[in-house]
Amino acid sequence: MTALNAPIAAAEPMLRVENLTISFRTDEGPITPVQGVGFDVSEGRTLGLVGESGSGKSVSTKALMRLLPGSATIERGSRMRYVAKSGEAFEIEALRAGSRALRRLRGGEIGMIFQEPMASFSPVYTIGNQMIESIRLHRGMNAREARDEAVEMLTKVGISNPEGRVDQYPHELSGGMRQRAMIALALSAGPRLLIADEPTTALDVTIQAQVLALMGDLQRDLGMGLIFITHDLGVIAQIADDVAVMYLGAIVERGPAREVIRSPRHPYTRGLLDAIPTLDRLDARLKPVPGDIPSPSQRPSGCAFHPRCAQAIKGLCERKAPEETQMPGGRAVRCWLHAEGRSAA
């Protein structure tokens, strides 16, 4: 097992992903947006998955739910092992589409909050209808019990008048309420692991802070594992225990969130942090990461980040991709600046 695939948490993880590689068939030929990704998630801990749009975060986590389109292939050698509270293990990559095990895994064991709530709710059914269906399917309650549980979940996520809201349609709720209702829907089946795909992107700052606080409270109350996907390291600083930074389909740095944010080792991680505006320098110009993330079909040679890196080592970074380097404190980085035996490469 390589360093970047090593356990992030000391406890036995509920989820272990190793060497996840995903390819897509396109009109221009096959592309590979995710290459050799690995991470662990343990009970009660939050993993922040960080990177720009196009870095492979959402594709990687949709593979955990087997929600990839038919043009996608999870390549041989990829492994996604989930261990339920009962001790039963699921090799997710081997589950057949439509199988009972996959239906049990989705929602009942692993829940997902999508980026856009209006795309997650059916517009022709009430919020309550959709929650009750999930509760009855995964928790075996009758219709009355399921409705009571739906109202209770809406109460937990801070929706006012839950007895009335449960009979409303998604379009009748504000954006912040829809986001809370989507969290309630994801939690209603009682998952042990929750995936949150940029759940605060479309919200204003006040509602964003409320949703982050809510998710932290619910996680502590329910003891869930959480994968929180975002492009914003400022959000990760508030919510995550561990962080994995992705660039063009690979994890380039990972470790305890506080340590990575306090002393980033990869130039890309440092660039993401420099791009965050700060209250003590409101007059300072924003400092974005230079350039744009390339398409997976036009992957640069050597280190994928070298065309955008001010610290690229000429004659090395553009020629050969760095191996991962394990560092003290459970950290790892994939960068020639920290590689052992660099001169011999």
pLDDT at 34 over 90: yes
Position 120 scores a pLDDT of 76
Rounded Cα gap, residues 206 and 201, in angstroms: 12
pLDDT tens digits for range 216-231: 887 888 889 999 999 8
Position 12 scores a pLDDT of 72
pLDDT at 335 over 70: yes
Position 282 scores a pLDDT of 66
Alpha-carbon Rg for the chain in angstroms: 21
Element (H, E) at 331: strand 331-333
Mean pLDDT of 262-274: 94
pLDDT at 1 over 50: no
CA 215 to chain centre: 14
pLDDT tens digits for range 102-144: 988 988 899 998 877 667 789 999 999 999 999 998 888 999 9
pLDDT tens digits for range 54-90: 999 999 999 999 999 999 999 999 999 999 988 899 9
Mean pLDDT of 92-106: 91
Q: Is residue 286 very low, low, confident or very high in pLDDT (cuts 50, 70, 90)?
A: confident
Dihedral (Cα; 23, 24, 26, 32), 10-degree rounding: -30
pLDDT at 93 over 60: yes
Delineate the domains of the chain, giving CATH numbers in brackets.
Answer: 3-109+191-344 (3.40.50.300)
Position 64 scores a pLDDT of 95
State the chain's maximal CA–CA distance in angstroms: 69
Contact of 35 with 7, CB cutoff 8 Å: no
Which is higher by pLDDT, 51 or 189? Answer: 51
140 token code pair: 């075996």
Q: Which residue has the tokens 């350039």?
A: 291
